[in-house]
Amino acid sequence: MQTDDPDAMLAQLLGSDLSEILSISYVVLANNQVTNRHIERVHDMPVQCWSALLATVSFPGLRARDLLHLFPRPQNTVSRALALLEARGLIDQRPCPQDARAKRLYPTPAGTDLLATIRQTARLRQDEVFGVLDSDERATFLALCHKIATGPRLVRSTVMPDQAKRTGMPLDAGVPDARSPRDSGDSGFSSGK
Amino acid sequence: MQTDDPDAMLAQLLGSDLSEILSISYVVLANNQVTNRHIERVHDMPVQCWSALLATVSFPGLRARDLLHLFPRPQNTVSRALALLEARGLIDQRPCPQDARAKRLYPTPAGTDLLATIRQTARLRQDEVFGVLDSDERATFLALCHKIATGPRLVRSTVMPDQAKRTGMPLDAGVPDARSPRDSGDSGFSSGK
DNA sequence: TTACAATTGATCCATCTGGATATATTGTGC
DNA sequence: GCACAATATATCCAGATGGATCAATTGTAA
């Protein structure tokens, strides 16, 4: 099937055999373009920073490793985000008495204030994105999202296991690049391997 | 409210005033950790490459700019993804007769084959993620996703406009000044982090 | 025609990302 | 106690990212 209309192409992809993954990814990608860029421009802060700030304000005293569970991202990304938040005086990282390796995170008043500002804009944005649904639909969508989010295979896949290796790739030969040092386990994110 | 259980924290965030945005973002972030890493490991290819390959196989003859509409990403990212796909012999970029600026994209047989492999795995992954829903729920979820995806404010926000400036400036109508890169259509609009 | 804005895609380059690794601490078994 | 694995976080650095810009073309209006 052929078409030249971008909207028709999008509609067709979102109705294909990969409709579910493509649809939800499209929504989040498109929203990220708007939201992340806005927060970056207005507050000079990448997305992982205000995610971390949100969590810290919501759960004062949590540890960096808890953030990995709330916002699945590489561990060093979280570490740097916290360093930035601390450098800006938005959070405090205090050594944990029970475990000297860990640090407990607490928002400063400035951090709490800034988050309140961001939260307000984010709420408006949320209503903008989900406002096309009526309130019953919104409730339904949220409930289904939660069901998906708590599914056991979302984070621990069997069809795409962590230890999968490279396939033969019989037909590349033409790329000078070729060497990639990937491998090994997933530091940080997983609780077991 | 205080808790030390990461699962309880997650549940609480996903039920907060930002529940909808946080929930859908969580699902996609978690899935990306699994899917993108897998494809990268197995096929040595970043996510934007197989997205572009999928689109090219689905709509042979499309132009790079169409990809921006299908997969909202920075324009240079798309440009590089296509260069890589071509270097690997997975697509051809042929000059467009109607418009010498543009190039039309066509999959090679190798590209079509590789996409078939990736598509199969992606389908399995999709069933893994959405399999926690019964088929009525899946249909409902998909329909609601589509409604959200086609909402006019998803891509063109009013609360987070493109021309927003640094902190301190509230969202007054801004300056509808001269040289603002307004696009009535949707060219090079994109870019986000 | 000429001039100029708009559009398509490629490229520059400062910054960011993330896999690997390092450092410090805790826990466990002997 | 000691040795060693596991855990919490920080840091290194090759390579990716993305905002800005460029060159080439097209469209448009005098």
CA→C1' distance for B96 and C19 (Å) = 40
pLDDT recorded at residue B1: 54
pLDDT in tens, B50-94: 999 999 999 999 999 999 999 999 999 999 999 999 999 999 999
Residue B183 confidence (pLDDT) above 50: no
pLDDT recorded at residue A180: 33
B165, A126: Cβ pair inside 8 Å? no
pLDDT recorded at residue A188: 31
pLDDT recorded at residue A162: 73
Q: Please give the backbone phi and psi of residue B131, each rounded to the nearest 5 degrees, phi first.
A: -65, -15
CB of A73 within 7 Å of some strand D atom: no
pLDDT recorded at residue B175: 33
Q: End-to-end distance of chain B based on CA atoms, in angstroms?
A: 32
Any CB–CB contact under 8 A between A189 and chain B? yes
Structure tokens at A39: 């927060």
Distance CA B191, CA B193 (A): 7
pLDDT recorded at residue A178: 33
Which residues 6+ apart lie within 8 Å of B55 measured at CB?
A9, A13, B62, B66, B67, B70, B71
Handedness of CA A90, B26, A41, A65 (dihedral sign): positive
H/E element, B173: none
Which residues 6+ apart lie within 8 Å of B105 measured at CB?
B52, B56, B60, B61, B62, B63, B64, B82, B91, B92, B93
DSSP class of B156: S
CB of B163 within 7 Å of some strand D atom: no
Any CB–CB contact under 8 A between A190 and chain B? no
CA→C1' distance for A101 and C26 (Å) = 8
pLDDT in tens, B4-20: 788 899 999 999 999 99
Distance CA A53, CA A114 (A): 9
Least confident of A15-19, A158-162, B170-174: B170-174
